[in-house]
Amino acid sequence: MKLSARADKLRPSATLAITAKAKALKAEGIDIVGFGAGEPDFDTPENIKEEAVRAIKEGFTKYTAVGGIDELKNAIIHRLKEDYGLKYEKSEITVSCGAKHTLYNLSQVLFEEEDEVIIPSPYWVSYPEQITLAGGTPIIIETEEENGFKIDLDKLKKLLTPKTKALILNYPSNPTGATYGEDELREIANVAMNSGLLIISDEIYDKILYDGLTHTPVATLGEDVKKSTILVNGVSKSYSMTGWRIGFAAGDKGIIGAMNNLQGQSTSNPVSISQKAAIEAFQGPQDEVKRMSKEFERRKNYIVKRLNEIPDFRCFNPQGAFYAFPNISKFFGRKYNGKEIRNSLDFTEFLLEEAKVAVVPGAEFGSDNHIRISYATSMEEIKKGVDRIEKAVEKLK
Ligand SMILES: *Cc1c(COP(=O)(O)O)cnc(C)c1O
């Protein structure tokens, strides 16, 4: 059967191949250290799980309002107000099946042929794909490690055309762990406002921040910025709830309404039981969030130090999220078992074969000089994995 041009353009994730290889090795009984995961290793907090059980027992198991129940929207509104002083109406909130789905819906209702959307690189893998699927054109703005992976304003201005419709921000960032302070955000927002851009701000890691840093949603920078910003967040990362599939968008009523219409013709409501659990996540005690973030920080401090001690590794100090993103380009041109390492995928294969460690090649995120190491795993595994990497790279000549 001939597939649609749309489906033909869809790119399968290159990480799937490496994940499959890691799985195959594991099935053979080989002990692989997994640094690939894009999700917290902690269990979902007990109080949240209890609310889901209660929802099932009480029969809250039917269709709900398409964009989420009012009680959940109120819990989201409460969280945004308490954390950041942001004020939204229920008509400005929609809940989807995970933040990835929220972003997908956004792309579908906003972009079409001729629309250009600026994405800072390194980027989360789904942004370019979702924009392309909608018919829009992703415009990549490279950021440099030396500048802390931050957008260079002159570069940004040069990329703007009359077709530019939106700018995507993701901070703290997956994969780099870089984030923005208020002043930096204000400068970026000024450029966006002067050019009439919409800002899509993916703040899914807002609660996982280190070194005493605080998160500033770009929407807090003034009424005009708030009007032109769609804030995206969810429960997956902060509350260790990746499998529950709850994400949300907050912003312009017109856009939110269109997302509801789209969702009404596709998935309908997010899972009723998960919605009840998410209410507890947003409204209940927040100490577990802090505890998990502290633990991630402890691991970050350890792994970044260790990685930087490995000769020819250079690892940026992440300010948030749970990934280390070391530069491994110094190894390009070196060999093992007669094979030459030419890029991040080769290096990833080398680590899997020689160190029995699974990571994700940076090429997936738009940067072939890096690999992504998730430290959402136990300290014991982190130590074991880094020991193995350290030993394996000694073989590279
Ligand atoms: C994990 C992640 C998401 C999506 O999370 P959901 O599980 O779909 O809520 C969105 N953006 C980034 C940058 C992520 O890392």
124 Cβ closer than 6 Å to some ligand 1 atom: yes
Q: Could you tell me the distance, in angstroms and rounded to a whole number, from the CA of residue 282 to the centre of ligand 1?
A: 17
The Cβ of residue 173 has, within 10 Å, a number of other Cβ atoms equal to 27
Q: Where are the domains of the chain?
A: 5-43+288-393, 47-284
User: Average pLDDT of the chain?
Assistant: 96
Q: Could you tell me the distance, in angstroms and rounded to a whole number, from the CA of residue 100 to the centre of ligand 1?
A: 5
Kindly give the interhelix angle for 272-283 and 70-84, rounded to the nearest 10 degrees: 30
105 Cβ closer than 6 Å to some ligand 1 atom: no
201 Cβ closer than 6 Å to some ligand 1 atom: no
pLDDT at 22: 82
Reported pTM: 0.96
217 Cβ closer than 6 Å to some ligand 1 atom: no
Q: Decide if 275 contacts 69 (C-beta within 8 A).
A: yes
pLDDT tens digits for range 26-84: 899 999 999 988 889 999 999 999 999 999 999 999 999 999 999 999 999 999 999 99
pLDDT at 15 over 70: no
Residue 362 Cα distances to 32, 110, 193, angstroms? 20, 28, 31
CATH class of 47-284: alpha beta
CA angle 298, 121, 198 (to 5 degrees): 105
CATH class of 5-43+288-393: alpha beta
User: Which atom from ligand 1 is nearest to the alpha carbon of 102?
Assistant: 8
248 Cβ closer than 6 Å to some ligand 1 atom: no
Residue 12 — pLDDT band, cuts 50, 70, 90? confident
Strands 323-324 and 339-340, by their bridges, are: unpaired
208 Cβ closer than 6 Å to some ligand 1 atom: no
